[in-house]
Structure formats: C-alpha cells, structure tokens
Amino acid sequence: MATSIQNISLSGKKKQVSHKEMTFWERLYLVAIIKGLLITIKHFFRRKATIHYPEQVREFSPVYRGKHTLKRDEQGRENCTACGLCALTCPAEAITMKAAERKPGEEHLYREEKYAEIYEINMLRCIFCGLCEEACPKDAIYMTISKELVPAQYDREDFIYGKDKLVMPLEVAMANTKNLN
C-alpha cells in the first residue's frame, strides 16, 4: 500500500477494524451476558475497595499530612507566637494571622508575650505541602498530630478554619503531659 497519512500509525496503536459476520452463538449474546455477569458476581465476594468514611478511618501513614493543629506545650499554653513565618512560607497564601500582646494574668494561656489573636487557614487554598510545619520556629503548627483530614463541607466559609478548630484541645494537651510522665 502507498504511504499516506491514512495508513501510518503514529502511536503504534492503530488497529484495522474488521467487519466479520458474527456466528449464531455470538448473535445470541447469551455467552457474553453470562460471562459479564460472572465478573460482576465475582466482585460481590471480593474485599471492598472503599470504606465508610468518616465513620471508618483508614490507618494513617506516619508521614501523612492532614488537618493542621496549633500545639500547646506541657503546661497547656499555646505555642504559637504569631511570628508569621508560616504565612510567609505558605506557597498558596492560605494562612492569615493577627497578633496581640499577652496581658498580665494570661501567662497560663500563651507561652510568649505575643500570641495569635486570629489565626486562620483557608483549607480551600491549602495544598498540604507542610512548609508551614517546616518553617515554624516555635514548634507550634503540626499537620501530623490531628489524625484527621479536612472534611468536605457545603459552604466555602466553612473551609476557613479559625483558632477554634485549629488549636489543640486542652484535654489532649493534658493527656499528652500525662503520657510524658
């Protein structure tokens, strides 16, 4: 055959379609239907590939990156001092914060004289790269200790996580302290 663009297979996957007439059994389609059903039925007895998240949770890899946690120290004080390095390093610009000065009498709440009054992560922007965790000089932000992923929501506003969702609950911090001793 002469070389023309119709005959060249650039991808190497070109197949000639045959218009062969089907035999009697093939025309009945019964064999094909039963074959297909067998494949379907076989999968009823196989192990399921999916789980009922969030009721069931898969085991996390030790290096997973999930929802951020703002850690508390052994005395239950917030580690974060609103230095802004996480927001600076964030390639998606997902983090915003506002600092405030610690007042006398709040020493049990915040570790340093400055703390984050507002700390927000926009989970729609976050790409879970973990650079914030790497940049943090105060050992405050972690993506590996919440053992949680960021769940789906219906409203965009719900993805902006404030301190109420990010700061490690006091009970967890207390439990951690007990484990240390």
Partner 1 sequence: MKVTIDGHEIEVEAGTTILQAARMIGGDVVPPAMCYYSKLKGSGGKCRCCLVEVTKGSDANPTPMPKLVASCVTGCMDGMEVKSKSSDRVTEARKAVTEFLLINHPLDCPVCDQAGECDLQNLSFEHGHANTRFIEEKRTFEPENIGDKIQLHMNRCILCQRCVQVAEQLTDYRVHGVLNRGDHAQISTMVSAAIENEFSGNMIDVCPVGALTDKTFRFKSRVWFNKPFNAHRECTTPGCCGKVTVWMFGNEIQRVTARKDEYHEVEDFICNTCRYDKKEVSDWTIEGPRKFEKDSVINVNNYSRKLEKVIINTERGILMGRDEDRKKISMAAIDYNKKIDGTEVKQ
In the complex, minimum distance from the CB of residue 77 to partner 1, in angstroms, rounded to a whole number: 14
Nearer Cβ to partner 1, position 12 or 104? 104
In the complex, what is the shortest distance from the CB of residue 91 to partner 1, in angstroms, rounded to a whole number? 10
- Toward partner 1, which CB reaches closer, 83 or 166? 83
For binding to partner 1 (CB under 8 A), which residues are involved?
2-6, 81-85, 87-88, 93, 99-101, 112-114, 137-138
For 90, other C-beta atoms within 10 Å of its C-beta total 20
User: 30 or 100, CB closer to partner 1?
Assistant: 100
Q: Based on CB atoms, which residue is closest to partner 1, 85 or 167?
A: 85
Q: What is the DSSP string of 41-94?
A: HHHHSSPPS---TTTS-PPPPTT---S-EE-B-TTS-B------HHHHH-TT--
Is residue 163 within 8 A of residue 118, CB to CB? The reply is yes
Host H or E run for residue 135: helix 131-135
Q: How far is the CB of 133 from partner 1 (least distance, A)?
A: 15
From CA 119, how far away is CA 74, in angstroms rounded?
21
d(CA 138, CA 110): 12
